[in-house]
Amino acid sequence: MKQVDSTFYKRADEHIHLSNSQVGEKISKGMVSASFMYSVARYNAYVSVSSFNSSKEALEAKQATIEYFMAEYKQMLEENLDDYIANYAKYMTHKKI
């Protein structure tokens, strides 16, 4: 992952804590994950389009924007999966090994 600012992980943790607080008897982790992912996509679309001067510019950059976010997400997901796999016993203390 690219270099991040000093509060990057704090902000990420706040989003994760909010998501975890939404999990309950009738709302599964998968349901929360789906709405969290939708909100990230919605916010990234907003941030991306707001950086252009027109919808034409945004449309012209649409594929490059998608490719950028897909590559970034893939890298972040791979890094986090590797971390969870390497630290399974530590992170998944409620699970049998």
Q: What is the chain's percent helix, strand, coil content, to nearest 5?
A: 75, 0, 25
pLDDT for res 96: 53
**DSSP 8-state assignment for residue 96:** -
Domains, the chain, ordered by start:
26-91 (1.10.287.3020)
pTM of the model: 0.85
Angle at 6 between CA 12 and CA 14, to 5 degrees: 20
Q: For the chain, 97 residues long, give each residue's pLDDT as a single digit of tens.
A: 678 899 999 999 999 999 999 999 999 999 999 999 999 999 999 999 999 999 999 999 999 999 999 999 999 999 999 999 999 999 998 755 4
At 27, is the secondary structure helix, strand, or coil? coil
Pull the structure tokens for residue 45. Answer: 């679309």
